Structure 1
Amino acid sequence: MSQDNYYGVAFNRERLIHIVDPDPATCEALSVLFRLEGFQTTFSIDAAQFMLGFERRSPDVAVINLRLGEDSGLSLLRRVKAMRTGTPVFMLADYPQLEAAVTAMKMGASSVIGKPIDTEHLLSDIREALRRDVHLNAMQGGRRAVEVRGFSQLTPREREVLQLISNGQSNKEAGRLLGISPRTVEVHRARVMEKLGARNTADLMRIVLTS
């Protein structure tokens, strides 16, 4: 183990990640993943179980599914944010849910991760959130101003597409409003993501909301 990895694991060892997903297999798989990185983990399969655990110990990171049986993961996200503990929250999406993803980002989610989960991306985002927590804890909201290069490169049409995507419009809805085909919207959207350096829709939402 390199010195950097050693200190990273030592840093993680004091950190608790609480996973909330109605699928026990997902909870178990993520628990193994995080423990291999040195984190402490616990998991819940519903919101009530999570809140009981949260009252005992506030986690350093929460990973919450957008769907929790009859409950909404967004409702749980709202409750966590209302507690003002500063806990970074990552949302999981069982299938593409653009509108819910946009809402989650506006409510303060650190990211929305689709299934199948890109574990390296998730781990990278969690490490970054914890680094911000350490260095920026005294700053209001724990957020740092982000300078985004690429907006100046967008064409007027790409800006229109970005605005509609940010408002939660689907490709079909955006195409109808702009008088172009959904396929053309998809092409513009891909160019916007490339110019802004976004890896996925959640990345794009984070760039828009923090710029």
Structure 2
Amino acid sequence: MSHTNTVFIVDDDAAVRDSLGLLLSLHGYRTAFYADADAFLRALDGAMRGCVLLDIRMPGMDGLTLQRTLVERGCALPVLIITGHGDVDSARAAFRSQAVDFLEKPLQEEQLVGAIEEAFARQSNARGQGSEERADYARREATLTPREREVMLLVVAGRHNREIAADLGISVRTVEVHKGRMMEKLGAATIPDLVRQHLQHAG
């Protein structure tokens, strides 16, 4: 399958760029490569179509700063964040700047391709799905117990299991049980996925 859109890969690691380029070419994607944020910003053009696959840690301007810069410039290209050093604060910052997804290395092929397809769909005007997705999230969130909701809000705020246990006066093991049930009910595969759902659909 060939694609008219392009995946713009911004990563300072040449080996990562090469491996991503090979993998995506096997799926029929067109790719373009940039070793740092400045190189991508110099090439940025309003006619570009596709999505940006953006590493967080780069020399000079880091990925999250580049993402904010793109938002400030009104860039319509959806952004996918990739990182080998994921944490809740980074995920929260990425999703607040409208990242489509937050993918942790080593990248899983199926997850990466799915995220790229979602990004392409967003640029092709998938806004109509927004209210439906929000309602679906609300239905899933309504199944949480009060304690599971407390745990969810603390996880999204970046608190670790031991901190949550201390805050709620329960054991770390009990936190883990509530956290597992909460993630399952919400259909969140990872903590970054939980953060994305909460920031995009809650409230």
Report TM bin, short chain: 0.7 to 0.9
Query: Which of 97, 107, 114 lines up with 2:97 in the alignment?
Result: 107
1:209 paired residue number = 199
Shift of 1:181: 3.7
Out of 136, 144, 147, the residue aligned to residue 130 of structure 2 is 144
Q: For residues 154 and 91 of structure 1, what CA distance do their matches in structure 2 show?
A: 29
Match of 2:63 in 1: 73
CA-CA distance at 1:126 after TM superposition: 1.2
Q: CA deviation at 1:20?
A: 1.2
> Contact 2:100–2:118 at 8 Å: present in 1 too?
no
* Match of residue 21 from structure 2: 31
TM-score (normalizing by structure 2): 0.87
Bigger Cα displacement from structure 2, 152-161 vs 181-190: 181-190
For residues 154 and 44 of structure 1, do their structure 2 counterparts lie closer, same or farther at Cα, with a shift above 3 Å needed? same
What percent identity do the matched residue pairs reach?
34
Instruction: Report if aligned partners of 1:21, 1:45 keep a CA contact under 8 Å in 2.
Output: yes
CA displacement 1:77-97 (0-9 Å, x = unmatched): 101112223211010121332
CA distance in structure 2 between the partners assigned to 1:187 and 1:115 by the alignment: 26
1:132 maps to 122
The reply on whether 1:176 has 2:162 as its aligned counterpart is no
| Conserved? CA contact 1:64–1:92, under 8 Å | yes
Q: CA RMSD in A?
A: 2.0
- Residue deviations 1:108-166 (CA, integer Å, cap 9, x gap): 11111001111211111211221232243xx5xx8722122321221111101111122
Structure 1: gaps spanning 5 or more residues: 1-8
Cα displacement (A) at 1:186: 2.9
Cα offsets for 1:15-49 (capped at 9, x unmatched): 11111112111111111122222221111121111
Question: Distance in 1 between the 2:110 and 2:129 partners?
Answer: 23
**Secondary structure, aligned partner of 2:124:** helix
Q: Higher relative contact order at CA 8 Å, sep ≥6: structure 1 or structure 2?
A: 2
Cα pair distance change 1:181/1:155, threshold 3 Å: same
Q: What secondary structure, in the 3-state scheme, does the structure 2 residue paired with 1:90 have?
A: strand
Gaps of 5+ in 2: none
Aligned counterpart in structure 2 of residue 40 of structure 1, from 1, 5, 30 = 30
Amino acid at match of 1:51: L
Partner residue in 2 for 1:6: none
Q: Paired residue for 2:184?
A: 194
CA contact (8 A) 1:18 1:59 kept: no
Q: Which secondary structure does the structure 2 equivalent of 1:67 belong to?
A: coil
Matched residue, 1:20:
10
